[in-house]
Amino acid sequence: KNDNLTAKDALNLIRVVPNPYYGFSGYEKSQLDYKVKITNLPQACTISIYNVGGTLIRRFKKDSPLSYQDWDLKNEYGITIASGVYIVHINAPGIGEKILKWFGALRPIDLNNF
């Protein structure tokens, strides 16, 4: 029973980093790369990302010992998302749920100066 309480408490540690995202993060390797991390995740969970209109943008099903999930700021179709506010819903079966808000201001792509 204590393990379940600890796991529920750990849901409060889940973060999307960086938040807010202003054009770049330390996880990116080039100008054409976008990356944020959803951190402190349990081994098994489903991460659903929605726009403020409630449309599902991307879903990840995580089942690995890694405590994070990378997000390349793309939707289910591989298209880079628009700048704005997004809702991140984490569902960890048997543990609970966590809802986060994330803001991203994406940089314009300039292929001429790369």
Q: Structural domain boundaries of the chain?
A: 2-107
pLDDT tops 70 at residue 46: yes
Greatest extent of the chain over all pairs of C-alpha atoms, in Å: 58
Cα radius of gyration (the chain): 15
pLDDT tens string 53-65: 999 999 999 999 9
pTM over 0.85: yes
pLDDT at 7: 74
Mean pLDDT of 34-52: 97
- CATH architecture for the domain at 2-107: Sandwich (2.60)
Average pLDDT in the 106-113 region?
71
